[in-house]
A and B are shown apart, each in its own frame.
Chain A
């Protein structure tokens, strides 16, 4: 990304976007590395024992995941905002300052995770080491930092949206991002009551990944279809509103599927089952929408007698289509597998959840955010038509093939756990290890590690492709 062809209105905002994307890509690599450490520990339990234990490696794995995605999401908004509103982002100087604050805070948090790891059981540890709550482990001081940065980001978005042209996409993003930022507050308190703790913890985790983030993806997909294909804004935005209706209509009360077993009342069984069973529907709609617009614009081109592809950025579009399918498969199908309480009673807290988590985060979010990085690289290098390269094809194949293989391996491991540890052995300590020692479980974990290495190779090629785009003659400038 050495060459900078960003000029004119919005070039400041787009430059900030590339900073966010660069930091996100680095964290994506870190996520995969710590995931590999944890995967090796399943196969060789002594690996880095009491040096970098599973708990620490896993915390870094999932925190790097959340943070790289948030960075890429912020970056994508700064990228598309000038295109949508027609003006430079308002308050971009503060936006740039906050980027450095955010990045520096993340580096400090990671260093503390790595080198301090645990502290004594007191409030100081919660404030300065970590909070020990899956996905939102960041220490309390960092929570406040995140709130400040998020407020700055939301202010940039709102001031720009209100001053410039307020398209449907910008309107959806404004409503969505304020909810996204506000929900983080639900995870910022301590309580002795673990049921109350987990109740509010899910307000952050679930209402992010199964509601606000999904709507965000809908808005990004809409932007991508307009920029990459020249799809009609009116049609795209109508689909977007339908998606918002369906996503929030099912996702908000779909939260009930996390309230089956944490001490909360039985009525969540019915509410959670009904609404979370509806959650795959908008994901089907999003998939159909992308294919429909692709076919429609290509058909119009063909009718004019032109043989050319309508796609202006082929690697990005590949990732966008993978997103539409991966979201449906990972979040929709793999989520539906175990969302009914009758099934979830046995699958809750097994590798089944892990299989779903991996494919859903990758399919629903990693894909489209990588696609946005390609759009930014195209813009930064002043490329008119961006073509596939050998690295871009291999990286997309290895990353998604590796993830699919990993998901299948974890699903098989999950079956073993459900049948042996849960159904047969009643979920005890002995039952747990009976399941873990089984041959099928062990083989599944071997395959998961192999697939993790495949993914890492895919990431290396992705990084290579990003870094060599500037000089590659295959693209039309």
Chain B
């Protein structure tokens, strides 16, 4: 009788399946510990001490946020409170958010909590994408806070009759079908003034998350073919 090959032995493949699955799972769990440590939300102390976090404290709403090229990393990163010229945050330049730039950690956390709850309850993700995940019926919201459309040269502040980005956004969220930008409109979701404030805080905070350069060239391109 010919010697049986291990390659056609069910026991061999059963054991391979168990070992490889176990190994992959252990590696995934180990990487999860490392990743969790890196994406835990930062503190107000971090911002004050100039410590860059992948997901900064909710008090990041007190700072000016931009999205600029990092020479070290070779792609764009969120810049908080001014750029050192190399693409590192200086954490100095503040920015008013609904008339204040001194939101305490407690207040800002509460606002973000309301905004995150709102983002789920109002079902944002089944039209928009957040961090690129969701539905594709409406624009990506990852860096929506930084969209030129809402800035001083964009059309939304004039359209909503507001003088600041956050007020224009909050007004739009409360009465979306009053300010259509396209035949495809956002429906009225019964968003209250307080909820809108929370949602705008959530969007501003999300724009400060380090997404490894996604989306590329956000808000940088003007005057391309058919560009605005």
A residues adjacent to B (C-beta < 8 A): 38, 41-42, 45-46, 49-50, 53-56, 58-59, 117-123, 125-126, 129-134, 137, 168, 190-199, 234, 237-238, 241-242, 244-245, 248-249, 252-253, 255, 258-269, 271, 345-346, 348-351, 353-354, 417, 420, 422, 424-434, 436-437
Contact = CB atoms under 8 A, between A and B. Distances in A.
B104 interface: no
B20 A196 contact: no
Contact of B123 (A38, A132, A168, A425): A132
Given A134-B125, A248-B17, A263-B39, A50 B187 contact: yes
B149 A428 contact: yes
B210 to A, nearest CB: 6
Given A428-B148, A430-B149, 14 more contacts: A45-B185, A55-B137, A121-B191, A133-B120, A134-B134, A190-B120, A198-B131, A199-B36, A241-B16, A245-B17, A262-B211, A430-B148, A430-B228, A436-B182
B217 A132 contact: no
Nearest to A44: B183
B21 A261 contact: no
B60 interface: no
A426 B109 CA distance: 31
B209 A194 contact: yes
A431 B222 CA distance: 10
A130 B182 CA distance: 28
Contacts of A197: 116
Q: Which of A55, A117, A259, A432 has the most CB of B within 10 A?
A: A55
16 contacts: A53-B187, A54-B126, A120-B195, A121-B118, A132-B125, A193-B40, A194-B119, A195-B55, A197-B116, A241-B10, A261-B211, A262-B132, A345-B214, A420-B226, A427-B217, A428-B147
B133 A349 contact: yes
Interface stretch (B27-35, B82-90, B94-102): B27-35
Interface in B1-48: 8-10, 13-14, 16-17, 20-21, 24-25, 27-28, 31-32, 34-36, 38-41
A234 B10 contact: yes
Contacts of A119: 121
B143 to A, nearest CB: 8
A253 B22 CA distance: 12
Q: Which of A121, A195, A237, A262 has the most CB of B within 10 A?
A: A121
Given A237-B10, A249-B21, A426-B215, A126 B121 contact: yes
Nearest to A341: B212
B135 A55 contact: yes
Interface in B106-165: 109, 112-127, 129-140, 142-144, 147-149
Nearest to A266: B212
Contacts of B147: 428-429
Contacts of A261: 131-132, 142, 211-212, 214
Contact of B120 (A131, A196, A354, A436): A131
B71 interface: no
B181 interface: yes
B21 A346 contact: no
Contact of B28 (A45, A253, A266): A253
Contacts of B123: 55-56, 59, 117-118, 130, 132, 137
Contacts of A137: 123, 126
Contact of A348 (B36, B119, B214): B214
A134 B135 contact: yes
A426 B17 contact: no
B41 A427 contact: no
Contacts of B8: 238
A54 B137 contact: yes
A272 B121 CA distance: 31
A426 B16 contact: no
Contacts of A117: 123
A433 B218 CA distance: 15
B226 A434 contact: yes
Interface in B154-186: 177, 181-185
B215 to A, nearest CB: 4
A16 B181 CA distance: 52
A121 B187 contact: no
Contacts of B216: 345-346, 422, 426-427
Nearest to A244: B17
B136 to A, nearest CB: 6
Contacts of B198: 121
Contacts of B51: none
B180 to A, nearest CB: 10
Contact of A263 (B9, B17, B54): B54
Nearest to B222: A426
A432 B140 contact: yes
Closest 9 CB pairs of A and B: A132-B120, A241-B13, A261-B214, A121-B118, A427-B215, A349-B132, A252-B24, A55-B126, A426-B217
